[in-house]
Amino acid sequence: MTTNLRLPAIEIDQGRGQRVYTFAVDAKLIPSFAAIHRAGRADDGRTLVGYQRPEVVKHIRAIADYIESDRPMIPNALTISFDATVTFEPHDLNGPVGYARTGDLVVPIPADPNLRPGHLVDGQQRTAAVREADVDTFPLACCAFITGNEAVAREQFLLVNNTKPLPKGLIHELLPGTTTKLPRVLERKRYPAELVAELNLLPWSPLHDRIRTATRPDGFIKDNSVLRMLENSLTDGALYRYRDPHTGQGDTDAIIELVTNFFSAVATVWPNAWDAPPRKSRLVHGAGIIALGFLMDTICDMAAEPGSIPSTNRFTDELRRVAPHCAWMSGHWRFGTDHVRAWNEVQNTSKDQQLLANHLIRHYIEAVRGTPASQIQPNAA
């Protein structure tokens, strides 16, 4: 059986068919009509569902302690996304005054919690704190919108949290599911994030389930390392030729083919280093992944037929040229006559990424052209 909760509200017309609703409600009631849609993967393993990060217990307890204090005040509003079962009944049928009108927001509370009409877009920690606090009631201000599209709720979640310390991994997973215009820093990462998701989800990809994300926490290659490797190549490398600089999109099939061919070759040439975790292998470490991306670009420039994508076998042959100069799991990196480091002293910093990339590129060019590595001055990063 479904009951209705009637909430006095103000409807604000923001133009272009967009309306938002402001109201107050006892936050103890919010779980009865709004769920927290946590980020995860559907049964098919590919489809991203939800968008919320996990609860932070210490943060919730701190807010709850404040709510239990003598004079608590939480002025910032929660954001809730409602589906079309929620309706607004205006008080004045003659129309709004200016941009707004008052009325009742009619929110159904179903007996089955799986049919709740709302999702909490912003404010899960505050709501959880009220739930845990030893108080009978605690009203909170809310701002809501009605939509049947989860992508809209996901986009609002990104926009609301853009200036907050949202985990980067969660941002990267949410970006491919958005379509609205985002701040430039996020807009630039949307297509590379889509590629990261594909590389991690495709069963035949050498990176399948190896990239650590919010919904794939068992991966051991950091998503940000793969993202940066792709960004570098899309900006000024082998993948640039497959990208439309005006739209930011690209020939995804061709890009995926090139990257999977390359990393399949990496796995063939260095199988032990490819299967080891970063603490035991600098190949799957951030510095290694980013440096290998620059080497991939160089191989495509020097060894690929114009307009063609090198096969896995071709990449394998080219990578074997630099294999004697690599110390992914043991030994020393010999970056120069007076610059020798133990294999695990290479760190995931911009300086070391460039150092490692230039080392690989110099020895590759030496093997192809015969020019001594000491005389080659690449500038990979």
CB 234, CB 250: distance < 8 Å: yes
**Identity of the residue numbered 130:** V
**Alpha-carbon gap, residue 35 to 184, rounded angstroms:** 30
Whether the per-residue pLDDT at 40 is higher than 60: the answer is no
* pLDDT at residue 234 tops 80: yes
What is the arithmetic mean of pLDDT over 115-127?
A: 89
Q: At what angle do helices 124-132 and 57-67 cross, to 10 degrees?
A: 60
User: Which carries the bigger pLDDT value, residue 371 or residue 35?
Assistant: 35
* pLDDT for the residue 377: 66
What is the structure's pLDDT at 71? 86
pLDDT at 8: 96
Q: At what angle do helices 184-201 and 223-236 cross, to 10 degrees?
A: 110
Q: Which pLDDT score, from 0 to 100, does residue 30 have? A: 94
Per-residue pLDDT at 51 exceeds 50 = no
Note the pLDDT of residue 92: 79
What ranges do the domains of the chain cover? 3-165, 169-375
Neighbour-count burial for 264-273, b at 16+ CB within 10 Å, e otherwise: bbbbbbbeeb
What is the band of 48 on the pLDDT scale with cuts at 50, 70, 90?
A: very low
Are the C-beta atoms of residues 74 and 140 closer than 8 Å to each other?
yes
pLDDT at 1 over 90: no
| Residue 87 pLDDT > 60 | yes
Exposure letters 152-187 (e unless 16+ CB within 10 A, then b): bbbbbbbbebeeeeeeebbbbbbbbbbeeebeeebe
Which of 142-151, 207-216, 242-251, 353-362 is modeled with the greatest confidence?
353-362
Query: Does position 161 have pLDDT exceeding 80, yes or no?
Result: no
Q: Quick one: pLDDT band at residue 163, thresholds 50, 70, 90?
A: low
The number of CA neighbours under 13 Å toward the Cβ of 295 is: 32
pLDDT at 52 over 80: no
Q: What percent of the chain has pLDDT over 90?
A: 57
How is 92-139 classified by DSSP, letter by letter? -TT--BTTEEEEEEEEEE-SSGGG-SEEEEE-HHHHHHHHHSS-S--E
Identity at 380, one-letter amino acid code: A
Distant-in-sequence contacts of 175-183, Cβ < 8 A, 24+ apart: 176/48, 177/48, 177/151, 178/151, 178/154, 179/151, 179/155, 180/152, 180/155, 182/155, 182/158, 183/159
Three-state SS at 316: helix
Task: Give Cα 317 to chain centroid, integer Å.
Answer: 34
State the Cα–Cα distance between residues 15 and 247, nearest whole angstrom: 27
Which element (helix H / strand E) includes 224? helix 223-236
Cβ neighbors of 66 (< 8 A, separation 6 or more) are: 72, 129
For the chain, how big is the Rg over CA atoms in Å?
Answer: 26
- Whether 246 has a pLDDT exceeding 50, the answer reads yes
Q: Greatest CA span in the chain, whole angstroms?
A: 85
